[in-house]
Structure 1
Amino acid sequence: MVSGLTFSLFKSNLALSFPIQVATLSDSDEASQCDKGQTMHKRYLSLAIAILVSGHIQAGDFAVTVGALHNTADTNISMGVPALGAQLKLDGESDLDLAKKRYSPYVKLEYQIDNKHSVFLDWHALHRRTQAQFSSAPVNVLDRQVEVGVNVDLALDIDIARVGYAYTFLTTDKLRLDAMAGLHVMTIKSQGGIDARVAVDGQESVSVAGKAKKNNTMPLPNVGVRASYQLTPKLAVKSHLQAFMVSTRLYDGHLLDFNLGAQYQVTDALSVNAAYNHYGISVDYGDSLLDANIKMSFSGPMLSLQYGF
């Protein structure tokens, strides 16, 4: 004889029913010990399946955010030789004519494991290219006019990714605070060429050309906090702050990642985000032979769409 049982599996507001067929012994089966053993095995198997299926399963929420940033970039490099008192300062936007303002894509993936734990990954990029010409004023050397010129063709691509974990340590009806820890991974790809020439009395006498390509990846650990405050059922203010500092005998550096914005819930799954972002990094190096400082920052508004699954 076969009896039917129904077990329900709940996810969010959906209820799915699964009929589980449980085989039981009939009077004719009891005469056979072999058939009885096989039937008992089926009963235990059906019971195990029923327990697994009928348990409450709550899957984590998965959200995808896609948008764009309007970055204002600031890049400064300085190098010096203390023993000689020589110092070279270079502004990437003014001296190399790198684009100061530029749109860049933004993508974020976040998985909410449960009501307290989540993991996330986001990425944005700033890719710039410049073609610039520099020339000196003519200089009189031994009654001859000497002029130096340089052509620069440079591509500078910066990609920044965040990989992290967030833990919710405070929750109220309107406020939510998370502690975060993870990595900022910055990849800098530079390639290009420099042509230098020296002209004497208007006639080119020396010409030098060179090309170079270099990739650098810097993974930097960081800690931070993020907050969300619900103004209305559909509108929330959100922010995050992450930082990292390191100091050694030769190196000093810091990283700052800040975001402040608003999120409007269009539907249960879709929301619109508008925010202001700032990302800055500074590295100082110094010894008796060489000192150097590199500062880069990217700031600006961001608009994005978030969809939850």
Structure 2
Amino acid sequence: MATRRIDTFSGMKNVMTATFRHHPHYRAAIGTAIAGLLLLPVTAAHADDKHAMNEKWYLSAGGYSVFRADTTLSLVERNVGAGAAIRPGDTLGLDLEETVLRLEGHYRFTPRSQIVASWFQVESDASKVLQKDIDWVDQGGNTTTVAAGSTVSSSLGYEIMKASYFYSFYHNDKVELMAGGGLHVSRFDIDLDVKTDPGGTVSAQETRDAAHTVPLPTVGFGLNYRVNPKLYWFLKAEGFYLEYDDWKGLFSEMQVGMEYNVWRNLGVGVGLATSNLNVTETAPQYTFRYDNRLSGANLFLSWSL
């Protein structure tokens, strides 16, 4: 069955630069920011020893195990409002509770200033016989009902990339307090394909797939505390809310964890993280709403100089 994808940037050209207008460009930019940490020349092994957490550059990679994923979404004709939201896990059998790669890194270009970047992605595919009717949008932008008993193939993807600047306004041999801001980019897509109708006949019903890219500015706060020369714990929080034209978005994220230096520049750490994204977009033909909360544990290795 044929489907058509919606790719929207929702008026962002007036508030964001053209660099982030197309997915491959901003993806490459932020990906390069993370990978580039490996290529930076090390001009000094450590900053002033009077400062805690004094690495010049840092990269961590680990398994982010999502143990709770609460997602609701709706895609309906604009004239009928937001419509009834569905839970992809319950309705379509899509499960985002999995373990995925998570990358984080930073580069301190002065003892008090650093660039921070991170990335992770979760996705799921499923095929299921619907237990109840669901409302969606066809290719003409009109509301269509996919009947209970229909066999539906679907997929859901969610990707988060961030790049920020942080300034350490308080930094001594035990404690680092920092604040800053940057850009958070979320990309999420939902594909819905009706395979057969309730009678088992191959369906001719057409539905729209949706792929949205949402860049949001963020402000954040961070705390590092050194327990002893080899062990420290950290707390990070970021968020922002913005309304513009026909869309509005809210993002928040919090992380807490600890890290232990096991040998020279190698460390091991564990942390808990939760992120929340709420987006509503009202296009000329449809209204799309996406709410997603992910909570998980991160076990990682780090390398710093």
Decide whether the 8 Å contact of 2:45 with 2:56 is kept in 1: no
CA distance in 2, matches of 1:213, 1:284: 16
Question: Cα distance, 1:173 vs. partner?
Answer: 2.4
Q: Secondary structure at the match of 1:101?
A: coil
- Equivalences for residues 77-116 of structure 1 within 5 A: 77-78=73-74, 87-116=83-112
Q: Which one-letter code corresponds to 2:150 in the other structure?
A: V
Per-residue CA deviation, residues 265-308 of structure 1 (Å, 9 max, x unaligned), is 11231111110000101124579x98664210110111111101
Q: Which one-letter code corresponds to 2:118 in the other structure?
A: D
Per-residue CA deviation, residues 240-287 of structure 1 (Å, 9 max, x unaligned), is 000101135754431101100111111231111110000101124579
CA distance in 1, matches of 2:122, 2:111: 34
Residue aligning to 2:156: 156
CA distance in 1, matches of 2:186, 2:249: 14
Q: Which has the higher contact order (CA 8 A, sep 6+)?
A: 2
Q: Paired residues, what number?
A: 241
What TM-score, normalized to structure 2?
Answer: 0.69
Question: Cα distance, 1:130 vs. partner?
Answer: 1.2
Decide whether the 8 Å contact of 1:107 with 1:123 is kept in 2: yes
Q: Secondary structure at the match of 1:93?
A: helix
Decide whether the 8 Å contact of 2:69 with 2:96 is kept in 1: yes
Residue aligning to 1:124: 120
Change in Cα spacing, 1:77 to 1:170, as seen in structure 2 (3 Å) is: same
Task: Work out which of the residue numbers 62, 81, 92 in structure 2 matches 1:67.
Answer: 62
Per-residue CA deviation, residues 81-108 of structure 1 (Å, 9 max, x unaligned), is 8987994230111111111421111112
Residue aligning to 1:188: 188
CA distance in 2, matches of 1:219, 1:285: 13
Q: Which one-letter code corresponds to 2:275 in the other structure?
A: Y
Residue aligning to 1:169: 169
- Equivalences for residues 43-62 of structure 1 within 5 A: 61-62=56-57
What TM-score, normalized to structure 1?
Answer: 0.68
CA distance in 2, matches of 1:157, 1:258: 21
State which structure, 1 or 2, has the greater radius of gyration over its C-alpha atoms. 1
CA distance in 1, matches of 2:239, 2:103: 21
- Equivalences for residues 17-36 of structure 1 within 5 A: none
- Equivalences for residues 36-47 of structure 1 within 5 A: none
Residue aligning to 2:277: 281
Q: CA RMSD in A?
A: 3.2
Decide whether the 8 Å contact of 2:78 with 2:286 is kept in 1: yes
Question: Cα distance, 1:235 vs. partner?
Answer: 1.3
Specify which structure has the higher proportion of strand.
1
Change in Cα spacing, 1:83 to 1:278, as seen in structure 2 (3 Å) is: same
2:298 matches 1:306: no
Residue aligning to 1:238: 234
CA distance in 1, matches of 2:279, 2:76: 14
Change in Cα spacing, 1:299 to 1:84, as seen in structure 2 (3 Å) is: closer
CA distance in 1, matches of 2:214, 2:61: 24
Q: Which one-letter code corresponds to 2:56 in the other structure?
A: D
Question: Cα distance, 1:211 vs. partner?
Answer: 7.0
Task: Report which stretch shifted further, 297-306 or 92-101.
Answer: 92-101
Identity %: 21
Q: Secondary structure at the match of 1:173?
A: coil
CA distance in 2, matches of 1:12, 1:259: 27
5+ long unaligned stretches in structure 2? 1-42, 47-54, 134-146
Task: Report which stretch shifted further, 206-215 or 188-197.
Answer: 206-215
